[in-house]
A and B are shown apart, each in its own frame.
Chain A
Amino acid sequence: MGKETTYLNLFRNYREVLRQYSAPLMDSKREAAIGLFEKAGFPGPKDEAYRQCRLDALLEIDYGMNLYRLSAPAHPSKVFRCEVPSLSTKLFFVVNDVYYPDPEPQKLPEGVLYGSINAILREHSELMAPYYDRIAGQSADAFAALNTAMAQDGFLLFVPAGVEIEQPLQLIQLFHGEIEQMANRRNLVIIEDGASAKLMICDHSMTQSSCFSNQVTEVFVGKKARLEYYELEMTHPNNARLSNTFIDQQASSSVLVNGITLNNGVSRNNLNLRMLGEQAESMLSGLCLLDSHQFADYHVDVEHVVPQCTSRQLYKYILDDESRGVFAGKVLVHPNAQKTSAYQSNANLCNSSRARMNALPQLEIYADDVKCSHGSATGQIDENALFYMRSRGLSEQEARAMLKFAFVADVIEGIQLIPLKNRIHNLVGKRFRKQMSACAGCDIC
């Protein structure tokens, strides 16, 4: 229990500080969470869900935490730019785990709440009480529990019933500072009945120090509500990201999740989606481009609780050098969830004999009138196609880049925001031609 003790002691020694700086609603969940964390401990080698994902070395690092809520000297928008050409977004920043208040209020439709989760939970505790920690609190994941115990801030978006936000919202999560640090980022997204929003979360790092992001995002999508949820990670080899995303979907709602890992160190993404209302639809997709010693692990869990829902999963990996990828996708169909349609597809390209991919596609079906399928394939670039292209004068590098591009095209095509799609297109192309530095999103690093 060595590594856990550090965090347990930290929690106990700073219990008052945590209370002082956070909303009562956040604080009320801490005791239960730390108890769960103490009981579970960090996942070890025998923990099935983390068997392929070894985090021991990363947890040895003595990370600093910004418990006293110190803010960085300059506003991040002054020093950081992550622009998607011709995409105008409402921009929000979380640096380490501190939400930066906007210099001027953003114009968003009436009733929409956005900004620091800590501030909004304090101000609207009654409105938020049914949501905060409702899904994460049921999770057995030790990292999610640690987040609930330690989290002090993050981003919150609340879109009231019937309100549609046309303009995409962009949240930039940054690491900044010289020291090794852990950020327990906590996000909450609530899209009420009939409302809609497009949210894009970009992970960047402005430091080369080892940083550990232990983040939890809870998403509630109401009846007939629509959410497009994009995640883009462009960090660096010293960055660790442990992300738990929980989505609850109500009847006739639709959710699109598209996660792209362009550059990272170690990433573990747990995506848990529950379909709780009939006629709900979801499309979950992801793309991981890995090289050197990068590691990315997607655990996607889709639960069909009620009848007549449709879910699709499409995950693709390209692995070069000594990188490693893990995909574990599970579809669970409850006994009464008849007429479920669930599809899962995972395809991986290993371009080096030292790269390794573990794929664990799983279906668990307890209903008898369902359409479910899953498929997973791991292979190499088609040598015949490569030769064919070279015989037409394309260099080997260019031919490989085009073939890789063709391989991942369907994931990128799934992005509904055209400017973002073009941007990703461009970045992925650069990545394949090795023209991309560690973090191409910003001008400074």
Chain B
Amino acid sequence: MFRAGSKKRRGKRVKQKESHQDILLSQSQQNVGKRPGGDRKQTKNKNILAKAVKTIFMLLEIKNLHASAGDKEILKGLNLSVKEGEIHAIMGPNGSGKSTLSAVLSGNPAFTVTQGTVRFKGMDLLSMTPEDRSREGLFLSFQYPVEIPGVSMVNFMRTAINEHRKYRKQEAMNASDFLKLMREKKALVELDNTLAGRSVNEGFSGGEKKRNEIFQMAMLDPVLSILDETDSGLDIDALRIVAQGVNKIHTPQKSCIVITHYQRLLNYIVPDRVHVLYEGRIVKSGDFQLAKDLEKQGYDWVKQELKD
């Protein structure tokens, strides 16, 4: 019999996603933000569940985040916690700060954080450079992937992979292993063979760009992925391919934040939690049902509720 919170077992992961979701729902609010197993009384009573609970920890914890672009404050005290294995959806009307959130988390220098903290794997995320965030396992799928003429996809990815490996004190990947990895991951998002030889995103169609983002995500194997409106500009088939790609990459050890306007994508990537971001704050959270309600009724009722 092991003791809850024992450090030895911390690395053990939950196998069944369903089971840990139930556990999360059963967890008390106070427990959020701590490594599980802090409350021994509770774990004693729920001995079986405790096995699972103690291994789940907080991957991302945003507290009272304020951020602005220039003089304009966009995020106004945002709180969000994402545990290992969870998929969160963030929805909200235009201009509510969804993309700003993803930009701030990935370290875009165009935005300044004026207040608040963000902890990622227990580390102070905001003090890290964008490259170190990536190397620690954070990935942003850009809403508008940038075209980089003259830099080939192969060269770009090889450099990225090797910089990640260098960070982990691993040797550079040899060419044949790298090409094998490329082939494998390209197939995942049905990316055209020739695209990899071209310059990064240059001349890619909207759908190809988004698939390319998921391809890069598969290559870099992040623990936390942020998909910023990955569904925008995609036709039904491309949407399915992208979503299936995301699902194939997903494991119970990884988390995902899906930023979207529509429920459409969430039919494929089913979220554990759905949040509504409005005027720089998360104003409402719920389960998948919330996304369905929003799709049906729009955001007005949320706004109305807030007024009341």
Contacts and interface: CB of A to CB of B under 8 A. Distances in A.
B146 A402 contact: no
Nearest to A388: B146
Interface residues of B, number: 31
A385 interface: yes
A390 B151 contact: no
Contact of B163 (A387, A398, A406, A409): A398
A396 B129 contact: yes
Given A385-B146, A388-B142, A389-B156, A394 B151 contact: no
Contacts of A406: 148-151, 199
A340 to B, nearest CB: 29
Contacts of A395: 131, 163
A395 B149 CA distance: 19
Interface in A379-419: 382-385, 387-396, 398, 402-403, 405-407, 409-410
Contacts of A394: 131, 159-160, 163
Given A387-B108, A393-B135, A407-B150, A402 B159 contact: yes
A388 B160 CA distance: 11
A393 B106 CA distance: 11
A392 B129 contact: no
B148 A392 contact: no
Given A387-B130, A406-B151, A393 B146 contact: no
Interface string B105-122: 011111000000000000
B224 to A, nearest CB: 13
A383 B131 CA distance: 14
A394 B220 CA distance: 12
A149 to B, nearest CB: 46
Interface string A238-266: 00000000000000000000000000000
Contacts of B108: 387, 391
Nearest to A409: B150
B206 interface: no
B148 A388 contact: yes
A393 B148 contact: no
A387 B109 contact: yes
B150 A405 contact: yes
A244 B111 CA distance: 50
A409 B156 CA distance: 15
B164 interface: yes
B167 A391 contact: no
Nearest to A402: B151
B140 interface: yes
Nearest to B201: A388
Contact of B130 (A384, A390, A405, A407): A390
Given A402-B156, A402-B159, A392 B134 contact: yes
Contacts, number: 76
Contacts of B148: 382, 385, 388-389, 403, 406
Contacts of B106: 391
A440 B220 CA distance: 36
B150 A391 contact: no
Given A398-B159, A402-B156, A392 B216 contact: yes
A410 B149 CA distance: 11
Contacts of A393: 131, 134-135, 160, 163-164, 167, 220
Most buried by B among A383, A388, A406: A388
B155 interface: yes
Contacts of B133: 391
B145 interface: yes
Given A402-B151, A406-B148, A409-B150, A392 B109 contact: no
Contact of A391 (B130, B149, B151, B164): B130
Given A392-B156, A392-B216, A393-B135, A384 B146 contact: yes
Interface string B152-170: 0001100110011001000
A240 to B, nearest CB: 33
Contacts of B135: 393
A395 B163 CA distance: 8
Contacts of A409: 150
B121 to A, nearest CB: 16
B142 to A, nearest CB: 7
B299 to A, nearest CB: 29
A345 to B, nearest CB: 15
Given A387-B130, A391-B131, A394-B131, 11 more contacts: A384-B146, A390-B107, A391-B107, A391-B134, A392-B134, A393-B134, A393-B167, A395-B131, A402-B155, A406-B148, A406-B149
11 contacts: A385-B148, A390-B134, A391-B107, A391-B133, A392-B216, A394-B159, A396-B131, A398-B163, A402-B156, A406-B151, A410-B150
Which 9 A/B pairs are nearest by Cβ-Cβ distance?
A: A406-B150, A393-B134, A388-B146, A390-B130, A392-B160, A390-B131, A393-B163, A406-B151, A385-B148
